[in-house]
Amino acid sequence: MKRVFSGIQPTGHVTLGNYLGAMRRWAEVDQHRADALFCIVDLHALTVDHDPARVRRLSRQAATLLLAAGLDPELCTLYVQSHVDEHTRLSYLLECVASDGEMRRMIQYKEKSARQRERGGSVRLSLLTYPVLMAADILAYGTDEVPVGDDQVQHVELARDLAVRFNQRYGHTFVVPEATLPGVAARVMNLQDPTSKMGKSDSGQGVVYLLDEPDAVRKKIMRAVTDSGQEVGYDPVERPGVANLLEILAACTGGNPESLADVHDSYGSLKKDTAEAVVEVLRPVQARHRELCADPAYVEGVLRDGAEKARALARPTVDTAYRAIGLLPPV
């Protein structure tokens, strides 16, 4: 059976982009066809300015939402990254095969560090080494496939490069992983600025959160920026706002963006259908989330068992890497 690994950062409230780009597939497809691990990557949330209490709260919330979205602890392993030391143990070894130039070329590093500097802040060293920790997350588990949205592809490619380089230098240790993307909605765009990704840390009306009330979802989608055209057509380059709505609608209804464009004769009707489709997709997730919030002990139990399973899976690979790279076994 294939091994699948993926993760989500507790840096903000979970968005429709996270759901359509990644989480929904984890629940509907990956956990059923593979030996799958899903991780709340809380260490990654410390790479930018953070409030400790908020990270803790968002970590619990992400776990609860993942279960609400359909992850089943009988089928997959769900846990918190900081509960399994193997991630940081392996990350250091991978820092010893990665180069600083490689890190500086990462798009997310360039974007996030520029934003941080614009605000007059300093850039945490961990933001630069972030992709190495992410590679460790993936490689520690002998992962074959990493289901992610489009924005994470460069990071998964780095994990591949590091795996190949380590294997060449020190002997075969790691499986070389591959990113898998959804057919539609691999990059859900901000509704107010459809040339940039809908991100957890964006603020305002451009982001639909998984826990938004139906009326808030409707309002945000009805106010989405489109263009001055009239006819509905799918053209992500020239008409990114309309294309984004078509992709969201396609992802929610199982259709495809081009043929959905043909059946809408105005932006108004496209927005209305998209809003209702999103509300319907979120409804069962939100209902299950309410139930799970009433049972925090269940969620804690899932995370405890998950961490135990994950530790047992990661330890042999990480120990092998320690020996391969030249570290003396403990006596």
Give CA–CA dist 331/313, Å, rounded.
23
User: Residue 197 forms beta bridges with which residues?
Assistant: 189
Tokens read off for 100: 């600083």
Nearer to ligand TYM, 196 or 298 (CB): 196
Q: Is 134 a binder of ligand TYM (CB under 6 A)? A: yes
263 is in an annotated binding site: no
Spatial CA neighbour of 215 closest among 275, 269, 289? 275
CA distance 104 to 237: 28
200 counts as catalytic:
yes
Specify the stretch interacting with ligand TYM by CB under 6 A; choose among 15-23, 90-98, 243-251, 319-327.
Answer: 15-23
**Ligand-binding site membership of 229 (annotated):** no
Q: Is 272 a catalytic residue?
A: no
Residues 47, 15: contact at Cβ < 8 Å? no
Q: Say whether 201 counts as a known binding-site residue.
A: yes
User: Exposed/middle/buried for 161, CB within 10 Å: 0-12, 13-18, 19+?
Assistant: middle
CA distance linking residue 58 with residue 52, whole number of Å: 10
Let me know if 243 is exposed, middle or buried by CB neighbors in 10 A (0-12, 13-18, 19+). buried
Query: Does 51 count as an annotated binding residue?
Result: no
Contacts with ligand TYM in 158-187 (CB under 6 A)?
186-187
Distance CA 69, CA 26 (A): 9
Q: How far is the CB of 84 from ligand TYM (least distance, A)?
A: 12
Determine the interface stretch with ligand TYM among 1-9, 222-230, 278-286, 319-327 (rule: CB under 6 A).
1-9
- Spot the catalytic one: 2, 110, 200, 219: 200
Among positions 209-238, residues that touch ligand TYM (CB under 6 A) are none
Residue numbers in the known binding site are 9-11, 17-18, 137, 149-151, 188, 197-201
Binding site for ligand TYM (CB under 6 A): 5-9, 17-18, 21-22, 41, 44, 134, 137-138, 146, 148-149, 151-152, 155, 186-188, 197-198
Give catalytic residue positions.
Answer: 112, 197, 200
